[in-house]
């Protein structure tokens, strides 16, 4: 009787687990499923991790917080994000160290429209744990300047303005597949200067990541997936500047069926978070 009861209970639990609809699964670059804990152990061995998100995806944002919280248990962390521009570093740091409140941060810094739901938890984690949070992105107005006039337009900036950008001149390889793909994706709107604008963002983020990285620390950087997909973008600049550090990348993709990674999503990153494409968005 006990064996029968145990067997029925086991079957009930097993069937219940099978019946659950999963929102995401994690794969490695080759398309093999990996557990969250396995991914975490691999990430912890690196100096710099680029966490590529889809900006309005709640699963990506939730996992960013979970990964940050769990890595903090075993590694000294430095955080940084594309979502904060370098000229806003002062108010961001003042908020993290408690000198100003959230209302003042909102007034002094250019926060994204989804800041409160998607990025405030990460910034508040840094504040609570007394971690450095780096504003890594180029001010948007200078990226727009490159889009309109090319890299040479940056030469006329003041020394203060240049301090918010990667040192000039930056290396630029227009033949990188992800840069070439921008032209295809944008159609008639795609121009060589648009690719340059993408590159100056990537170069600047890489610059501030390396500038703020410390020995025996893991720098965890949050950015749009395209900025680090296929080991290019930010990572290309990081490796060009310092090939001796250990790097890892994460990306986020959407699929109708998350049970097998689609061919187009293979080799996008070391770890690929595959999310049901029916997932609600944060905006």
Residue 76 lies in a domain: yes
Is residue 12 domain-resident?
no
Tally of structural domains, the chain:
1
Assess contact for 272 and 28: CB atoms under 8 A.
yes
Tell me if 91 is assigned to some domain: yes
What are the CA-CA distances from residue 98 to residues 101, 124, 127, 183, 234 (Å)?
7, 10, 7, 44, 30
Q: What pLDDT does 17 receive?
A: 47
Residue 9 CA to residue 144 CA, distance in Å, equals: 62
Q: Does some domain include residue 1?
A: no
Among 86-90, 186-190, 193-197, whose mean pLDDT is lowest? 186-190
Residue 185 lies in a domain: yes
Q: What is the mean pLDDT of the chain?
A: 93
Residue 236 lies in a domain: yes
Find the CATH number of the domain harbouring 168. Answer: 3.40.50.11550
Q: Phi-psi bin for 195: left (phi > 0), alpha (psi -120 to 50), beta? A: alpha
Asked whether residue 281 is assigned to any structural domain, the reply reads no
CA pair distance 225, 221, nearest whole angstrom = 11
Strand 271-276 vs strand 24-28: parallel, antiparallel, or unpaired? antiparallel
Interval 193-212: pLDDT, tens: 999 999 999 999 999 999 99
pLDDT of residue 188: 64
Q: What is the pLDDT of residues 19-60, one digit of tens each?
A: 578 999 999 999 999 999 999 999 999 999 999 999 999 999
State the pTM of this model.
0.92
Residue 108, domain extent: 23-276
- The separation between CA 125 and the C-alpha centre of its own chain, rounded to angstroms, equals 16
- Please check whether residue 47 lies inside any domain of the structure: yes
Instruction: Determine the longest span between alpha carbons in the chain, in angstroms.
Output: 85
Contact yes or no for 118/81 (Cβ under 8 A): no
Q: What is the pLDDT of residue 20?
A: 77
């Amino acid at each position: 009787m006990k064996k029968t009861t145990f067997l029925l209970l086991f079957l009930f639990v097993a069937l219940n687990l099978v019946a659950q609809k999963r929102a995401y699964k994690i794969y490695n670059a080759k398309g093999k499923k990996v557990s969250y804990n396995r991914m975490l152990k691999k990430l912890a061995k690196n100096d710099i991790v680029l966490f590529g998100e889809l900006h309005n995806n709640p699963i990506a944002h939730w996992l960013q917080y979970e990964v940050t919280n769990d890595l903090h248990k075993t590694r000294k962390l430095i955080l940084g994000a594309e979502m904060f521009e370098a000229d806003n570093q002062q108010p961001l740091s003042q908020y993290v160290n408690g000198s100003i409140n959230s209302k003042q941060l909102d007034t002094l810094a250019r926060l994204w429209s989804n800041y409160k739901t998607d990025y405030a938890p990460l910034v508040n984690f840094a504040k609570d744990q007394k971690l450095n949070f780096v504003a890594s992105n180029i001010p948007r107005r200078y990226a727009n300047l490159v889009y309109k006039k090319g890299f040479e337009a940056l030469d006329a900036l003041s020394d203060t303005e240049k301090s918010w950008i990667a040192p000039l001149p930056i290396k630029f390889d227009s033949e990188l597949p992800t840069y070439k793909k921008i032209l295809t994706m944008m159609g008639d709107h795609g121009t060589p200067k648009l690719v340059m604008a993408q590159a100056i963002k990537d170069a600047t983020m890489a610059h501030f990541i390396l500038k703020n990285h410390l020995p025996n620390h893991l720098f965890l950087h949050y950015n749009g997936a395209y900025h680090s997909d296929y080991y290019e973008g930010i990572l290309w600049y990081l490796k060009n500047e310092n090939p001796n550090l250990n790097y890892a990348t994460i990306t986020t993709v959407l699929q109708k069926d998350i049970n097998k990674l689609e061919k187009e999503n293979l080799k996008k990153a070391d770890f690929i978070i595959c999310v049901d494409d029916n997932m609600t968005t944060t905006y």
